[in-house]
Amino acid sequence: MMTSSSNKTPSNNALRQQIEKWKFSIAQSPVVWLIGGLLAVRLLFILFSPVDLIADESYYWDWSRRLDYGYYSKPPMIAWVNWLSTSLLGNNEFAVRLPAALLGTFGLVFVYQLGARMFSHRVGLVSAILLALTPGQTALSFLMTIDAPFLFFWAGSLYGFWMLTSAEQTGWKWPVFTAVMIGLGILSKQTMLGFFPLAGLFLLITPERRAMWGSARVWLTALASLAFLTPVIVWNMQHDWITLEHTASHFSENSTTWMTQFARFGEFFLGQIGVVNPVLWFAIAFTLIAAVRQFPKLTAAERYLLCFSGVPLVAIFALSATRRLEPNWPAACYPAGVILTTAVFFGRSTLTNVFRNRDLIFARSWKTGLVCTLLTYAAITIVPNSPLAGSPVDITCRLRGWKQLAHEFDELTKNEPALKRSKNPLIISTAGRDITSALAFYLPKNPLIPHWSQDGAGVLCQYDLWEKPNLKARSDAIVITQVDPNLPNSLNNSFSTWTSLGTIEVELGGGRKREYEVYRTSHAPLPESTRVENVAIKPQSKVVQ
């Protein structure tokens, strides 16, 4: 017995010591608890969310069913990620949104690491927390849009390039890491190309880094990351540079009046305060202004963060004074801005006299952020079922009604011969990409639905680039249109009979609704007296052309 006891005791002690070591390690790494807890909350919210996919989500999901090296308006990463997730988990809302939660949450690890390397672990951790407690980051970790992969790779690139340019780092680990992060970011969103001038500006204005302009490691990193553009360039060469043309349209001349544009600028400005949270946004703004005023004494880390936050923010706000911009445009500016502001909060920055009471501003920043984040979740779950539904404060109108419309469409058409006698019935949409992609996602069996734009309108969306079905080979089809539509002649003339089956609609509240008309078409000949040129009419029993 003595022998047995003596044999077990060392083993038990070793196991106990290992467990204690793990506990200590986790306790000393609160970022593990932050990321794990945050991810759990976000995954549960996606799983039990009462709202539908927004139109962009179903639109990008539809791209994933036709994998390619490029698409009309964006690089291919969003389609590739969607394909991977839905191939593993099926075509459902959780599968579509899962990557957004993973990318948005794990991107905070890079924010933590960058803040910890530059200032302290405390600065890194609190930076990640403050960024997580913003309505914008909350939303972008819920909705699977192009910003989910883009911001993940942007944060990774921020961290990688800083490590690459740090004097103590040698070898090729960080050049490879940074090249991959930037390259995958380029495949996610064209905005990633802005990383290069900002990185170059940092090297130029930082004396101790200026010599790296001649560094082979830096230039090879840049060239390797740009090589990721190759498939996108090849695809655009084959499609008349349509992505470049679309991107350039964002910067084309704006013909609106100055009063209208001033109102849009105000809307954009207020939107940014709401996306971040009022207290934290102004804290970032005051920090960046102080950084510019005290520029000569800034450390390399502070100049780096200024280059990747203040500089692009000024450029974007200047652009917003000339044209309408979406509120997500400055999203990549905030990680660096939050880190610099957090360093000021904890006295780790050289910046002085930024806040009269930095502890008070810090406390108000995270408390306001927490309230705004909770309100964001509440707005998504509570407002749609309240008297506020459809009102200006209802941010969920874009996330509601699509599933119901698909159900109504299915109920209206399920007994139609055009759908019953074919394994692959032809459903055509002329009502825009939103309802087209929503029906494709929410209808049973996820049919491929071609979209017909007006003749001569050019390429307006990805559907216009995909091959249309041969209508001569089909005897009939179901067509969904706007109510009282002006049909494209090429589609109108392809069928001789157009019979309205009725309308489908969904009320969003506040007098807002979505409404579409559904037609059965065929090649049966019509008497001349019943033909109507170009415009399909609404009465349910009449046949039109």
**H or E element, residue 518:** strand 512-522
Across residues 387-413, what is the average pLDDT? 90
- SS3 state at 93: helix
> What's the CA gap between 202 and 218, in Å, rounded?
13
For tokens 């964006």, the residue is: 74
The confidence score (pLDDT) of residue 355 equals: 94
pLDDT tens for each residue of 366-382: 999 999 999 999 988 88
> What's the CA gap between 162 and 300, in Å, rounded?
10
pLDDT tens for each residue of 337-370: 999 999 999 999 999 899 999 999 999 999 999 9
CB atoms under 10 Å from CB of 497, counted, come to 18
CB atoms under 10 Å from CB of 328, counted, come to 18
- Tell me which of 4-18, 201-215, 319-333, 514-528 is least confident: 4-18
pLDDT of 535 above 90: no
pLDDT of 15 above 80: no
Across residues 10-17, what is the average pLDDT? 68
Q: Which residues contact 129 (CB under 8 A, 6 or more apart)?
A: 34, 366
**H or E element, residue 108:** helix 93-118
Which among 174, 166, 161 is positioned nearest to 299, based on CA atoms? 166
The confidence score (pLDDT) of residue 362 equals: 96
Q: Which residues contact 51 (CB under 8 A, 6 or more apart)?
A: 380, 384, 396, 399, 400
pLDDT tens for each residue of 70-108: 999 999 999 999 999 999 999 999 999 999 999 999 999
pLDDT of 543 above 70: no
Beta strands in 387-485 (DSSP E): 427-429, 476-481
The confidence score (pLDDT) of residue 201 equals: 97
Asked whether the beta carbons of 103 and 151 are under 8 A apart, the reply is yes
Q: What does the block give as tokens for 130?
A: 């403050």
98, amino acid identity: L
Q: Across all residues in the chain, what is the average pLDDT? A: 89
pLDDT tens for each residue of 292-302: 999 999 999 99
For tokens 């309802």, the residue is: 435
Q: Which residues contact 376 (CB under 8 A, 6 or more apart)?
A: 135, 138, 139
* Pair type for strands 476-481 and 427-429: parallel
Which among 158, 159, 115, 178 is positioned nearest to 332, based on CA atoms? 158
What is the band of 122 on the pLDDT scale with cuts at 50, 70, 90? Answer: very high
For tokens 């046949």, the residue is: 543
- Tell me which of 235-244, 325-334, 415-424 is least confident: 415-424
How buried is residue 184: exposed, middle or buried, by Cβ count under 10 Å (0-12/13-18/19+)?
Answer: buried
Across residues 11-33, what is the average pLDDT? 69
pLDDT tens for each residue of 254-272: 667 888 888 889 999 999 9
How buried is residue 285: exposed, middle or buried, by Cβ count under 10 Å (0-12/13-18/19+)?
Answer: middle
> What letter would DSSP give residue 189?
-
Asked whether the beta carbons of 179 and 172 are under 8 A apart, the reply is no
pLDDT tens for each residue of 281-291: 999 999 999 99
Q: What does the block give as tokens for 468?
A: 């249309």
What is the band of 383 on the pLDDT scale with cuts at 50, 70, 90? Answer: confident
pLDDT tens for each residue of 129-166: 999 999 999 999 999 999 999 999 999 999 999 999 98
Q: Which residues contact 247 (CB under 8 A, 6 or more apart)?
A: 73, 190
pLDDT tens for each residue of 56-74: 999 999 999 999 999 999 9
Q: Which residues contact 471 (CB under 8 A, 6 or more apart)?
A: 477, 491, 494, 495
What is the band of 28 on the pLDDT scale with cuts at 50, 70, 90? Answer: low
